[in-house]
Amino acid sequence: MKEIQRFTLGDLALPTRMLFTGYLLAIGLGLLMAGAQIMLTHGMADGKPGLSVDDIVYSYYGNRDGTKLEAKLFGSMKDNAPAEVKMTLIKWAEAGAPAEEWQGTIKPLVDQYCGPCHANIATLPNITEKAVMDQMTKRDEGASIATLTRVSHIHLFGVSFIFFFVGWIFTYATGFSTVTKSVLIVAPFAFLIIDVASWWLTKMNPNFAWLVIIGGFGYSAASTIMIFTSLYQMWISPRHTLKTTQHID
């Protein structure tokens, strides 16, 4: 038998602990901000605060009984215009968005209530332009294939890097069996794949909306356990070098 020494988080030099701590704190704050952003976007898709299955369905599958404009005015944009203005826009969209009403009736309302943001923020569609508004008055079919493709590859590449370094730091933690630690390390990647795959599945069938919530909750929970465990063992309850034995044939 051969005795092997393995370093733990409590053994790390102060500069290394500071590096790991800064990264974990920034990532933890980033996860909180991501959750807040989801609540402010997807979480208002059905017009009610808080994330629900309906929010997921409206975001990815769409509300196919109405238009995109209607979904926005009753959802995330519901507080940005008076009720009578919203009804004027919705009735115009339901009537087929007649072009003769655009310049004299609809565009002034859009310029006043929507233009301050949509005409000046690059990430928002400029619905003060008729061609862009025409897209909003079509039947709401949720996220487009182009949008899903773009967001999926960004999400998979970017978030995987986050989980890689969180998991790598966590490999130095103690108090977990090898199997438990391995499950915690791989869990965020598995739930990330479930999360992204469920966007596409929900786009095709709204019954898969539950998977989006499960995927997001799963990788958030696993990464939170790893982050708090690593910080705790680095600063509050350091555990030092472990000695293990290995059989050599």
pLDDT band at 3 (very low <50, low <70, confident <90, very high): very low
246 pLDDT exceeds 70?
no
Residue 38 lies inside a defined structural domain of this protein: yes
187-224 pLDDT, tens per residue? 999 999 999 999 999 999 989 989 999 999 999 999 99
The 3-class secondary structure across the chain, one letter per residue, is CEEEEECCHHHCCHHHHHHHHHHHHHHHHHHHHHHHHHHHCHHHCCCCCCCCHHHHHHHHHCCCCCEHHHHHHHCCCCCCCCHHHHHHHHHHHHCCCCHHHHHHHHHHHHHHHCHHHHCCCCCCCCCCCHHHHHHHCCECCCCCHHHHHHHHHHHHHHHHHHHHHHHHHHCCCCCCCHHHHHHHHHHHHHHHHHHHHHHHHHHHCHHHHHHHHHHHHHHHHHHHHHHHHHHHHHHHCCCCCEEEEECCC
Q: Which residues span the domain enclosing 107? A: 65-136
Q: Pick from 136, 159, 179: which residue ends a domain?
A: 136
Q: Pick from 84, 119, 136: which residue ends a domain?
A: 136
Q: Which residue has the tokens 């299955």?
A: 53
Residue 37 lies inside a defined structural domain of this protein: yes
Residue 58 lies inside a defined structural domain of this protein: no
- Provide the number of structural domains found in the chain: 2
Q: Pick from 106, 136, 166: which residue ends a domain?
A: 136
169-181 pLDDT, tens per residue? 999 998 899 999 9
Residue 91 lies inside a defined structural domain of this protein: yes
pLDDT band at 237 (very low <50, low <70, confident <90, very high): confident
Residue 55 lies inside a defined structural domain of this protein: no
pTM over 0.75: no
Instruction: Please check whether residues 85 and 175 belong to one and the same domain.
Output: no
